[in-house]
Amino acid sequence: MTDVARVVVVDDDRAIRWVLERALAQPDLEVECIERADTALNRLLDNPPDVLVTDIRMPGIDGLDLMARVREAHPDLPVIVMTAHSDLDSAVASYQGGAFEYLPKPFDVDEALALVRRAVAHARERKRPVSVPEGLDAEIIGEAPAMQEVFRAIGRLSHSHITVMINGESGTGKERVARALHQHSPRGSQPFIALNMAAIPRDLIESELFGHEKGAFTGATAQRQGRFEQANGGTLFLDEIGDMPAETQTRLLRVLADGEFYRVGGHTSVKVDVRIIAATHQNLETLVEDGRFREDLFHRLNVIRVHLPKLAERREDIPRLARHFLAEAAKELSTDIKVLTPEAETHLTRLPWPGNVRQLENTCRWLTVMASGREVLIEDLPPELRDASSGEAVAGDWRVAFREWADRALAAGHTHLLEEAVPDFERILIETALRHTGGRKGEAAELLGWGRNTLTRKLKTLLPALAEGD
């Protein structure tokens, strides 16, 4: 039998008390209504309920003060704040005071009941310990075959100083991989310096890379070391290398060839020992063909290439990545770790994620701030993710989705994949063809490229309910 949860409603409006008392009269809920907050305070302190529902504006102690005093003694008590004065100040004050949720009047009674049930689930969930997921401190997370290839590359390069080019869409985690390559190299104890070419004004790039002498240009009031000097002995990560201006490409090529350079405005060469790891989301071969990237520099940088897959190409990693980012966000924001329900987790794995891992990370940070309860439901997701249908999420060539399914199945240890896939594949095609022909099997067989006898045999095996008649 389900445990009965105790709910206390505090409101000076008799009509509201009457409505909530009846709306919350459920087999798994026990409701107590109290007219005044000062009357309720001692009872709540001595015997806290599972959920407190309180109005804000009442005679004597107001609802926010009541919430503050009760939560000081019972910090895990979820409080739903109601008010007819649904202004911004009331909402902000409610959430700042630790409210579980804010319910403006007039409200829908079904919505109020659903909210109370969520608060009850939240209270019970908080009583269960949550372990920090494995890999919280890991540089990269990935069990998908494509990510295992990345791990193998990092392993093979762990004793090397060789130049590496990382290819991947924006948000796939190129800097994380660059850091891992550095940390697992002989230079791991030396500096790792990152510079994003796309984020620096063109006229400042050379100063950023090579430094400048005092008086080299207006505003250069002192000598300044560039990123090459800062990275001496270690690794310089040049992100979005495809955005590097032509004149800077020429200077970089000389540094890679000679191991020395001049600061802007300088006359004395500076020698450095730096490993270069470059990254781009662009196709450098195309940039070379278009004359926008030096071919000799491309060959200097493209010694070893590591390709990072899109998040949509490694869907089996999404649940673990989400748990990792939710734990990181909770640590960063000094709050409880949110937990995805199985339904929400499944929904996330079906989304297209055009912003890749960075988009998932930002979504987890958003959920940590915005989701009401400890458990994250599909309804808690940002609207643009919540409303995406699985059809939209996996839109595109069916072969891509099929390949991803095969990758996931093999990674999970499945065997005899053909025995599992082929019957489903044929069943879907038969059903679709029959739907197009209005159930006429002869025409369906022709659409599928089979003889009538072949379709009849397949129907008996795969869809016996459709095998009889025409």
Is there a single domain that holds both residue 414 and residue 289? no
Largest Cα span, the chain? 92
Q: Which stretches of the chain drop beneath a pLDDT of 70?
A: 1-2, 85-88, 126-139, 388-401, 404, 411-413, 465, 467-470
Residue the block writes with tokens 């309804």: 379
Count Cβ atoms below 10 Å from residue 135 Cβ, excluding itself.
15
Is there a single domain that holds both residue 92 and residue 21? yes
Is there a single domain that holds both residue 300 and residue 317? no
Instruction: Report, in angstroms and rounded to the nearest whole number, the Rg of the chain calculated over CA atoms.
Output: 31
Q: CB of 160 within 8 A of CB of 152?
A: no
Q: Is residue 19 in a domain?
A: yes
Listing DSSP states for 458-469 in one string gives HHHHH-GGGSS-
pLDDT of residue 139: 52
CATH of the domain at 343: 1.10.8.60
Q: Is residue 323 in a domain?
A: yes
CATH of the domain at 420: 1.10.10.60
Is there a single domain that holds both residue 93 and residue 40? yes
Is there a single domain that holds both residue 105 and residue 206? no
450's tokens: 């089979």
Is there a single domain that holds both residue 317 and residue 303? no
Is there a single domain that holds both residue 281 and residue 195? yes
Is there a single domain that holds both residue 104 and residue 117? yes
Distance CA 456, CA 468 (A): 9
Q: CB of 147 within 8 A of CB of 330?
A: no
Q: CB of 269 within 8 A of CB of 262?
A: yes
134's tokens: 């494995």
pLDDT of residue 421: 83
Q: Is residue 133 in a domain?
A: no
Is there a single domain that holds both residue 274 and residue 329? no
Element (H or E) spanning 149, and its range? Answer: helix 145-156
Q: CB of 183 within 8 A of CB of 139?
A: yes
Q: CB of 45 within 8 A of CB of 27?
A: no
Q: Is residue 147 in a domain?
A: no
141's tokens: 């997370």
pLDDT of residue 390: 45
Is there a single domain that holds both residue 302 and residue 318? no
Last residue of one domain, picked from the residues 358, 390, 422: 390
Number of structural domains found in the chain: 4
What 3-state DSSP class applies to 200? coil
Q: Note the pLDDT tens digit of each residue in 411-427.
A: 666 777 887 788 888 88
pLDDT of residue 133: 41
Q: Is residue 274 in a domain?
A: yes
Q: Give the residue numbers spanning the domain of 327.
A: 312-390
pLDDT of residue 166: 95
Amino acid identity of residue 352, one-letter, is: P
Cβ within 8 Å of residue 150, ≥6 positions away: 140, 142, 177, 306, 307, 308
Is there a single domain that holds both residue 349 and residue 302? no
Please tell me the total number of residues recorded for the chain in this structure: 470
